[in-house]
Amino acid sequence: MPFSLSSHSTSSWSYPPVVPLDRSQQAKLRGCIDGKAKPPGSLGQIERLAEQLGLIWQPSSPRAESAVLLVFAGDHGLTQEGVSQYPSAVTVAMVKTFLAGRASANAFAAATGARIRVIDAGVAADLPPHPNLVAAKVRHGTANAAREPAMTHDEAVTALTRGCELAGAEIDAGTDVIAIGEMGIGNTASAALLAHRLVPAPLDACIGVGAGQSDEGLTRKRAALIRAAARSDVTAPLDVLAEFGGLEIAMMAGAVIGAAGRRRSVIVDGFISSVAALVAIRLCPAARDYCVFAHRSAERGHGLVLEAMQASPLLDLGLRLGEGTGALLALPLLRAAARLLTDVASLDDVLSGAI
């Protein structure tokens, strides 16, 4: 969907208006939840999630049945510095695995009744057409951020815009919930740099083992990211994204804002997806209201990113795979929270014998 003249703008990117949640009905909604056939507060975080969904969907009843996982794929020039134990070719191989229906995310999507669409945001190879592949490539991978900007401002804006439009198109087609995930060798390195500047936090506190670095590999990764961070002192969100970001991260950030602009919830996966959500929120603070944080990743730095967004994730399972796997595991909780509002009787009805 093209952007309207009413779009908002930040540092040369125009994005659709995102309306903060109207909290004037929050007390009434809280009373409705407390009045269900259960002790008040007895469903803990599910009640808080139900309240968030009720505010997002008001005055309609919340729905969470139709869900799609958007897996954004992109390669990173930082892999030239040895920041990952795997080569960039693994990104292409994993995209093919998603499209063949054989990745962990596919298994979890089948278990939770979600659809998967794979987005080529910036894979460093030409991919053949496939019904579940969206060709949205901005360029064949980012540049090496340890030596030069990962992308130009125009490329960052293009990625944000395409992500925004993709999420909007899914919602316009009837999707209730957008979940975001990613695939990209080297993207924990890019995400660490983004977190370092946008949390902000010490760089070393943001660097983790990613896909499983050895001690030697982690030392090499840390040295490369120190060089990258020293190359530029930018702090404005769009500048930081262009200097250090990945195309899949930028496109995920756009998807968060696109879903928020359509007043729909976004399930955010782990470390890298949360960094993308942080980018979106730094660009458009109102987008925070629409984010549901799936889980606390085992990747170092994720806790700092969550704290920066005042986020309480639903799950803590020691996950660090990415792909949107944690987001898919959280989807049934979202559906349960929506049905708490729509399906559960009030205590008054139970006591009066109306049931």
Among candidate residues 47, 165, 299, 323, the one labeled active-site is 323
CA distance 37 to 184: 46
Residues 182, 279: Cα–Cα separation, whole Å: 15
Strands 13-15 and 8-10: antiparallel
Q: Which helix (H) or strand (E) holds 190?
A: helix 187-198
Structure tokens given for 160: 């944000």
Instruction: Say if residues 95 and 182 touch (Cβ distance below 8 Å).
Output: no
Distance CA 108, CA 206 (A): 28
Best CA proximity match to 269, nearest among 298, 289, 241: 298
Give which of 282, 222, 238, 272 is closest to 252, Cα–Cα. Answer: 272
Q: Is 243 a catalytic residue?
A: no
Take residue 149 and report the two structure tokens written for it.
């900007």
* Residue 261, phi then psi, degrees to nearest 5: -65, -25
Helices (H), 206-324: 215-231, 237-244, 247-261, 271-283, 302-308
3-state helix, strand, coil in the chain (%, to 5): 50, 10, 40
CB 74 within 8 A of CB 142: yes
User: Could you list the active site residues?
Assistant: 323
